Structures are given as structure tokens and as C-alpha cells.
Amino acid sequence: MERNNRKAWLYLLPALILLGAFLVYPLIDVLIYSFEEGFNFASQTYFGVGLYNYRYVLRDPYFLQALKNTFLLVLITVPVSTALALLISLGLSSIRPLRQLYQTIYFLPYVTNTLAVGLVFMVLFQKTEYTDGLVNLMLSWFGSGPVDFIDGPYWAKLFVLCFYTVWVVLPFKILVLTSALASVNQDYYKAARVDGTSRLRTFTRITLPMISPMIVYLVITGFIGAFKAYSDAVALFGTDLNAAGMNTIVGYVYDMLYGASGGYPSYASAAAILLFLIVLTITCINLMASRRQLQG
């Protein structure tokens, strides 16, 4: 027993060393940075230790804007994309002909490069001097005026960002959910049919509980993914996200380090730690809620 234990640790050692070097150490380092006040990158010196960096970040309007953007993005895209994916997966698993084809089509966005997709979205949504963009063209058929989705009002920009994010995360969710649906034993449905279960009740009382572990998984990874959003915003609105008012928390961290106004690793660290705390809290709440639901 004791021997086996030691052997197990030995086998785990390489992975643990790598994890320690590239994950735990940087994490601790970031934590330390975030408490060092007035850190000077060139001289590697600082004045004192305290909460000043946090206070600064939490008062920074750019950070607050990024926080708001990120939260809105998360709250909109996670439920919408999960529900949409569920709907499409249900549709996919109820058709027989052409199912493979549809599955392939739905999976295409997943293998397409983010920035390339962003470019396509620009073409769809952007208003230039020559054209109003495809979406505006369609809007005009319904008699509504052109909206500048890339450089216009906040809600329009947020809409494009959410639309884009949902579109990008959808394939993976569909993939996971169709295989989850396919793995439900058909006998449950047969039993339900013999008992005269309505379709809605079959869905809520049998299908949903059966695939709920996968839904929980998708919601949690969805939350984490959306909180870490950055490249999507860049693909749509360019690198100066603060100016566009469409920055995200990760974008803020990046800007604090390398952006035009960058060079503040302490602020970046504080922002990163805040993001970490938010994600941790939400994941814990998620897990607890789903566990309670599974038991109840």
C-alpha cells in the first residue's frame, strides 16, 4: 500500500513539476505582484505592500466598462448558446436523412480561425462609406434604418459581440449534446411512450435529467470561456478596445501589460486576480447548484 503510493507519486512527478513551474508558480507570482505598490519594471523595485493596486483597478472606468461588458457577455451568451445548441441537437437527433451533412455544417465554425470569422462578421455588419453591410441591407427590407454595428451605439456593438460569441461556441456544444442525446438508452423512450408520456414531459422528466451532467459541463466551461473572452472582441473591433468601449477583463489585463497605455504589471495582476476570484466563485455556485438539482 505504502509502496504503491510512493510509486504513484513518482509517476505523477513529471506532470506535477510542469504544473508547478508553469501554473502554480506564475499564479503565486501574479498574486505577489498584485500586492506590490508602485512597482517599477526597470529597477524591479516597489514602495510598499497593500491593496492600492486593487483600489486603483476597481476605480478605473475602463476596468468597470470591461467588467460590465464581460458580465453582459457571459449572462447573455451562456444561456442563449446552450439553449440554442440543445434545440439544434434535438432537431438533429430527430431527423434521419442528411443528419451527417447537417452535423458537418454545424461543426464548420469550430474549425474556422477566429480572426477569419471576425473578418466575415465585419463584412456582414460593418457600415462603410460604400456599403451599409449585408445585415443592414436586410434590416432595410423591414423598413428600419441602417445601424452601425461596429462603430455605433453600445447595444449594437454588444449585440454583434454576443452574436459572434454564440456562433463560435455553438458547434462544440452541439457536438457534445448530440452525442449525449444519442447515448440515452432508447428503451427509456419506449417505456415512456407505452406509458403515454407527452413529448414535453418526456423531455423535461427523462431527456433533460439524463443529459444534465453534460449540460452542467457546458454551462461551467461556457462561463469560464466567456469570462476569458478577448480575441473575439479584437477580431470585431480591433486592438484599441478601450476606445471602442468594448474591452473585456482579459483585454484590460493585456492592455495594462502591453497596450498603448501599458507597462503596469501590478494593475494587470490585480485585475487578473479579480477575474480569477469571479470565475472561482461562479464555478463553485454552479457546481453546488447542479449538485443540489441532481439530488432533488
Binding region for another protein (CB under 8 A): 185, 187-188, 190-191, 193-198, 201, 205-206, 209-210, 294
In this complex, which beta carbon is closest to another protein, that of residue 192 or of residue 224?
Answer: 192
In this complex, which beta carbon is closest to another protein, that of residue 101 or of residue 194?
Answer: 194
Cell readout for 64 is 468597470
In this complex, which beta carbon is closest to another protein, that of residue 104 or of residue 295?
Answer: 295
Phi, psi (degrees; rounded to nearest 5) at 7: -60, -45
Closest approach, Cβ 209 to another protein, in A, equals 4
Closest approach, Cβ 93 to another protein, in A, equals 17
In this complex, which beta carbon is closest to another protein, that of residue 55 or of residue 199?
Answer: 199
**Contact criterion met (CB below 8 Å) for 34 and 273:** yes
Please give the Cα distance from 173 to 283 (Å, whole number).
18
Closest approach, Cβ 291 to another protein, in A, equals 13
In this complex, which beta carbon is closest to another protein, that of residue 119 or of residue 206?
Answer: 206
Closest approach, Cβ 208 to another protein, in A, equals 10
Closest approach, Cβ 202 to another protein, in A, equals 10
Closest approach, Cβ 197 to another protein, in A, equals 5
Packing angle, helices 154-182 and 208-227, rounded to 10: 140
In this complex, which beta carbon is closest to another protein, that of residue 193 or of residue 291?
Answer: 193
